[in-house]
Structure 1
Amino acid sequence: MGNVFVSVKDIDFGETKWIDTRFSLQDVHEGQRKYEQSHVTGAVYWDLEQDMSDMTKTAGRHPMPEKEALTNLFRKSGLSIGDHIVIYDDGGSPFAARAWWLLQYAGFTNAVIAVEGFGAITQAGIPIDSVASVPVLTSMSPEWDEGIYASRQLVEETVAGNTAGILLDARAAERYRGEKEPIDPIAGRIPGALNFDWEQLKKGGIFDLDGSVKSQLAQVADPSEEVTVYCGSGVTAAPLYAMLKHNGFDSVRLYVGSYSDWISQKDAKVEKD
């Protein structure tokens, strides 16, 4: 696969389509306000809850939209399958990675994440304005890659030992251990899961691409293993997925429903330390 992340200094503005994914889990309107104040010229805005999730579903706290809704999102965003696309958030956030994973799932192989975020983009001299983008509607057809999507059934099979894969929990260690659960009604983890806190992926507030993360990931899983990543709602697992792919892990899936979906079933088993 190609690059997952790109440094702002290496971006060719003229050959790029842009997606702004800034968001705040504490203030769900913050990203839209930031976009309206200033964004990369021509960028479209994808909201975590309005565009990249279907909040009417019950499969976790940020369920994935249906394929039809995603296809409509891609088309109204003016995207074609071969486009070179740069996605940004504020840097070190999970939202650009969520969009990137959705694009990977749909077959957009030329999408990358701007690792430093919007602040660095403004400093790099890339054109910025406050004019809402109105892209030309496309008729693109996604090329869905089911190999990177983990269904609940697949996770159940992994827990039962019927697959060769491992589960990797991207939440903080105290939530993984079941010591503290500030969001979900049941503390703990999916049985058998290992832990790699997604915050460990960062240095100085942005994702660390210098190689130290690669060695840390290799202590948890082998690059040849099948890895299914999850978190609380499928959002912060996306950067863990992206960093695994960036560091040479070939077979990685994302359980979008994640722990919040797992515990939604009455008979769901969980582990605690």
Structure 2
Amino acid sequence: MTDYRLVVSPQWLSEHLDDPQIVIVDCRFSLADTELGPLQYQTSHIQGSHYLDLNDDLSSPVGKHGGRHPLPNPVELAKKLAAIGINSQETLVVAYDDSRFAFASRLWWLLRYLGHDKVALLDGGWKSWLSAGYPVTDALAMPKQGKFLPEVRSHFVVDIDTVKDRKDLPEVVLVDSRESDRYRGEREPIDPIAGHIPSAVNYPWQDVTDEVSRVLPVTEQKRRWSGLENAQEIMVYCGSGVTACVNLLSLEMAGIHTGKLYAGSWSDWCSYS
């Protein structure tokens, strides 16, 4: 049984496709081929869904520091959210991808970061929607103007100085969300330096879902984080602040609300080396 405050089933979404208070967002993306996500959307998507691109919409331009996917400008993102019909604190946003929440969870986190809690992920993502036989289309969603006023929750995010200052405190836990071989420094396919931030513990983001992108039960999410319930602060990072959001979702499902995103993540950390 999933936590439906954070995740909705394909059946539930199919029954609410015509609800004017719901906006569906396609977040499919490929780090290896940045044109693939938009092309997939143009070819076929959930009826009525809009598309937001990881690089163009959910990140700001890359600089010398700050990581490979710096957080977008809140005002600019708010304009884009309003332009697809999202109203602050009113619209339920349902996000999906085909990558075990890797990119949809970035939008989930960003909306909450901007003060909008009414956001859920589609359990199983695009593939579960297809396998259930629900409607798809190549027709672009009609624009509908909303009103989105960002109320930035600055305490949701930490920077490199905060990580350095707090990571070794007894009440703080630093979580590396990457695959275990990248955490151990045995493989590094993207960043120039392999390894992990000293004192970080490894909780791979893929463990939040099963092999077909269905989120694991709340009981399993709680089991994952058993022992960290009393941490006053859990700082979470990955390669560039994207898949770490899957672990932040898992923490929320487990009832642990102390998670914060190190937005620059490993790509920011190693840029100073």
Q: TM-score, normalised by structure 1?
A: 0.89
8 Å CA contact 1:91, 1:116 repeated in 2: no
Question: 2:38 & 2:259 partners in 1: Cα distance?
Answer: 31
8 Å CA contact 2:26, 2:49 repeated in 1: yes
Partner of 1:261: 268
Paired positions, count: 264
Partner of 2:6: 4
8 Å CA contact 1:106, 1:142 repeated in 2: yes
| C-alpha distance after superposition, 1:140-188 (max 9, x if no partner) | 2112222221222321221353x83211000112221223222211222
| C-alpha distance after superposition, 1:244-267 (max 9, x if no partner) | 11111111111111011011124x
Alignment-mate amino acid for residue 87 of structure 2: S
Question: 2:144 & 2:206 partners in 1: Cα distance?
Answer: 37
Question: 1:213 & 1:139 partners in 2: Cα distance?
Answer: 34
Partner of 2:37: 31
**Deviation of residue 233 (structure 1)?**
0.9
Stretch moving more, 251-260 or 180-189: 180-189
| C-alpha distance after superposition, 1:211-269 (max 9, x if no partner) | 334212215x2255421110011111111111111111111111111011011124xxx
**Deviation of residue 49 (structure 1)?**
0.8
1:196 aligns with 2:200: no
Question: Which of 226, 229, 236 does residue 243 from structure 2 map onto?
Answer: 236
Question: 2:46 & 2:139 partners in 1: Cα distance?
Answer: 9
Question: Which of 44, 50, 60 does residue 54 from structure 1 map onto?
Answer: 60
What are structure 2's unaligned runs of at least 5 residues? Answer: none
**Deviation of residue 10 (structure 1)?**
2.2
Question: 2:45 & 2:4 partners in 1: Cα distance?
Answer: 26
* Cα RMSD for the two superposed structures: 2.1
Q: How does 1:44-193 map to 2 (within 5 A)?
A: 44-58=50-64, 59-81=66-88, 82-90=90-98, 92-124=100-132, 126-159=134-167, 161=169, 164-193=171-200
1:41 aligns with 2:43: no
Identity %: 34
Question: Which of 12, 15, 18 does residue 14 from structure 1 map onto?
Answer: 18
**Deviation of residue 123 (structure 1)?**
4.4
Question: 1:126 & 1:196 partners in 2: Cα distance?
Answer: 34
**Deviation of residue 87 (structure 1)?**
0.4
Question: 1:122 & 1:207 partners in 2: Cα distance?
Answer: 14
What are structure 1's unaligned runs of at least 5 residues? Answer: 267-273
Q: TM-score, normalised by structure 2?
A: 0.89
Runs (4+) of structure 1 moved beyond 6 Å? none
Question: 1:54 & 1:154 partners in 2: Cα distance?
Answer: 21
| C-alpha distance after superposition, 1:95-129 (max 9, x if no partner) | 10011111111111111000111122234454422
Alignment-mate amino acid for residue 10 of structure 1: W
